Amino acid sequence: MKNLKRGGLACLFVVVSICFSIYPPGFPPFQGSFQAYAQEAGFFGEVFHVPEAFDPDYEEMERKFKIFVYPHNTSSCSNPRTLDGEYGNEGLFYLNLNLSRFLTKDPEKAHLFLIPISCHSLPAGRSEDERAIAVEDFVKNLISKYPYWNRTLGADHFFVTCADINVTATARIANLMKNSIKVMCTPSYNDEYVPHKDVSLPQRVPPLALPPAANNITNRITLAFWRGLNNSDIRQKLLEAWENDLELFIQRGRDPGIEDGDLVYHEAFNNSKYCICPGGPELDRTIALAIHYGCVPVIMSDYYDLPFKDILDWRKFSIILEESQVYYLREHLEEMLEHEYRAMKTNTVMFPAPESGPEALSVESSSSQI
């Protein structure tokens, strides 16, 4: 357990369990812990790094680990933000933590302390500076009122940020960016994200237009698919190299919101063997869609930290290429042997996926408050 008490790794284990072992209504539940499910599913030794070391630490963490959430005077965390908007990940994280075994009201029993920063940076009616000042005042008040920050200068503290919090809001607080753990969506090293200290939070993108894919590959007639805007360097190069290729379905166009009901876009994920996930805005969203539809992700993003990469061996269920390899993309995919593709495809669809449709969002407010 001693290694579980060390900052980012401890937080990573907890985030894994919060994200995968607790589902809101509408998700297909599995019995027991995530680790037990993984063993029963038969891939515990396939997609995990060193499962024999991970197994006992995870079991002990499930039994003992506790998080204390600092009190706050806003309602945005007690009543989570809408789960289908830009704050969906943060709302779901707080909701699942409310329902989890990890929450404690006794700070003396806590291994980690959650600073609910996003509750104090609501965008409506506030400028960025006003939000930053609100965050600064809130955190400094906690530091002066409670003794726990000063014991470690914030090294056993963490906060979740997917939309609101940026350097403007957090750089005002000494040691917050340097020592505390940032749980962040779509992290890249140029966004003040520190690998091995901070934690990459995978994005959830319900509702989904089509149900999750099974392991059937007969309908996958397209070698690879991507559609989106040229709003990053790698996406521009991808379009320049492959937009007119007959084997790859690479298309310039809007990356639709889920609520748009663009069935052609979703069917393309469902009908492709590989789905290209080039670096840029909302990269996690594309990866999540690929996994949901059983399309093996092809991740092309330098300086990007994959969710749970210290625990999961992403090379067992995705292809990871450097951005410079974009010009050899089709060659890489055509060189994949059939049995290699089938193994990756099997691992890609191994996790239970969320149900599609708006009903997946009908989450009742938890009676417990954080």
For the whole model, what pTM was predicted?
0.75
Residue reference for tokens 């408050």: 369
240-282 residue pLDDT tens: 999 999 999 999 987 665 555 578 888 899 899 999 999 988 8
Query: What integer pLDDT is reported at residue 160 of this predicted model?
Result: 85
Query: What integer pLDDT is reported at residue 364 of this predicted model?
Result: 31
**Token digits of residue 316:** 């067992």
Query: What integer pLDDT is reported at residue 5 of this predicted model?
Result: 45
Query: What integer pLDDT is reported at residue 285 of this predicted model?
Result: 83
Query: What integer pLDDT is reported at residue 32 of this predicted model?
Result: 41
**Spans in the chain with pLDDT lower than 50:** 1-6, 20-45, 352-370
Q: What is the largest distance, in Å, between two alpha-carbon atoms of the chain?
A: 64
Output the 3-class SS for the chain. CHHHHCHHHHHHHHHHHHHHHCCCCCCCCCCCCHHHHHHHHCCHHHHECCHHHHHHHHHHHHHHCCEEECCCCCCCCCCCCCCCCCCHHHHHHHHHHHHCCCEECCHHHCCEEECCHHHHCCCCCCCHHHHHHHHHHHHHHHHHHCCHHHHHCCCCEEEEECCCCCHHHHCCCCCHHHHCEEEEECCECCCCCCCCCCEEECCCCCCCCCCCCCCCCCCCCEEEEEEECCCCHHHHHHHHHHCCCCCEEEEECCCCCHHHCCHHHHHHHHCEEEEEEECCCCHHHHHHHHHHCCCEEEEECCCECCCCCCCECHHHCCEEECHHHHHHHHHHHHCCCHHHHHHHHHHHCCCCCCCCCHHHHCCCCCCCCC
Query: What integer pLDDT is reported at residue 190 of this predicted model?
Result: 64
HSE (side-chain half, CA atoms, 13 Å) at 91: 22
Query: What integer pLDDT is reported at residue 370 of this predicted model?
Result: 32
Query: What integer pLDDT is reported at residue 24 of this predicted model?
Result: 38
323-362 core/surface letters (b: 16 or more CB in 10 A; e: else): beebeebbeebeebeeeebeebbbbbbbbebbbbeeebbe
Q: What is the CA radius of gyration of the chain?
A: 21
